[in-house]
Chain A
Amino acid sequence: MQRPPVELHRLISQTVVNPSLNEQLRCDARSVYTHFGIPADQQALLLADPRKALATLNVHPNLQFKFLAALGLLGLKPASIQPYLETPHGQAR
């Protein structure tokens, strides 16, 4: 069984609890990859084409989604349900 990209999975999971990582990834991805111990060959793929690399490296789909969103490469735009929530008085906001 092939070893999953565990270091990259950990990095992406960390972006959830530490959103400042997203800015660091946009500014200096190589340093972040090195800090998280991502192997050099994976770093090269990610730096060349992140979207293709995520598929090539078989990154978990939910984590691909988060990573692409962090890099601004996701096809879906962020949305909010707030305008659609019912208020305590029984009306839509």
Chain B
Amino acid sequence: MGKLVSAVATSHTFGLPDNHIEATERVAEGMREIGRRVRAAKPDILIIVSSDHLTNFDLDVQIPFAVGMADGYEPLGDLGVPVRRYPGNRGFAAGLVQFASNDGFDLVGLERVRPDHGIAVPNAMINVHADVPLVPLYINTVMETIPTCKRSYELGRVVARYIREQRPNAERVAIVGSGGLSHWICMPDSGRINEEWDRGILDRIACGQGRELATWTPASIIEAGGNGGLEIAAWACMLGAAGDATGSAIYYEPMHNWWTGMGGVAMHIDAA
């Protein structure tokens, strides 16, 4: 049986420092620390869960859940992410699709995708040597009927069972929930941040109460965290995989000039 050795979550956007150079550096250092913690767990597979930003997917065919099946990926290059090739893991992805199907999740397999910043920014922070096979797992919270946090949390539980029950002995898997926190994009509240909501998420996760996110409806999330806040479905997926683990908040900054509450957590997982 395989083993989940690392579970983290982080925001995935970035902006100019403007007059907030120190806060920008704290965010960057927080993201780098998350990268270091994941690398320290020596994963053989890196699952990054995120919404696409309508760069690879479009509204003519709306796909809520999808997984990258390819042998390798080149990022889109947005937000300055270096365009270099990262290995994938076709066997892991194909096995996940089959296992999830048996468990009530119909994941669409992607043979070609150029990950945008949702996948690519945390990957760049973690996969410094571009040597850990990447498996992009999409929970597309930009679709018209979006996957709920409840459904996403359950998918995380399925991923964890897949790792335990189907993967080879000693295979080490890391999972990253990517997105959030509060942000309003092209809505009347554009630019708003809800720091109280953001810190409440980090506190719940630290105390091992992250499963509470699974009870939040899309409407309640939009009201409290904006349409961008819906991306915490990816965090819910990570939390489903992490089970009852507690965690540590690694960083939080309300970056008003970026329109986004920026935060990250690392779960306490036994990586031995």
Contact = CB atoms under 8 A, between A and B. Distances in A.
Are A and B a genuine interacting pair, yes or no?
A: yes
A79 B15 contact: yes
Nearest to B59: A9
Contacts of A62: 53-54, 142, 185-186
A88 B129 contact: yes
Interface string A55-93: 100001111111010000001110111101111100010
Contact of B59 (A60, A85, A88): A60
A10 B14 contact: no
A84 B124 CA distance: 10
Would you list the 9 A-B pairs with minimal beta carbon distance, nearest first? A80-B80, A84-B28, A64-B186, A61-B186, A13-B58, A82-B80, A79-B15, A62-B54, A81-B14
A13 B54 CA distance: 7
A18 B84 CA distance: 20
Given A61-B185, A68-B186, A81 B54 contact: no
B168 interface: no
Given A62-B53, A81-B81, A75 B191 contact: yes
Interface of A is mostly: helix
B60 interface: yes
Contact of A81 (B60, B124, B142, B187): B124
A63 B53 CA distance: 9
Contact of A80 (B36, B59, B79, B258): B79
Contact of B185 (A55, A65, A86): A65
B121 interface: yes
Contacts of A81: 14, 28, 79-81, 121, 124-125
A6 interface: yes
Given A54-B186, A61-B185, A4 B81 contact: no
B220 interface: no
Given A62-B54, A68-B186, 9 more contacts: A60-B54, A64-B185, A64-B186, A75-B191, A81-B14, A82-B81, A85-B82, A86-B35, A86-B125
A64 B128 CA distance: 33
Given A54-B186, A81-B80, A88-B128, A61 B227 contact: yes
Nearest to A60: B59
A77 B80 CA distance: 13
Given A60-B54, A60-B142, A10 B186 contact: no
A16 interface: yes
B55 interface: yes
Interface in B10-30: 14-16, 25, 28
A88 B125 CA distance: 11
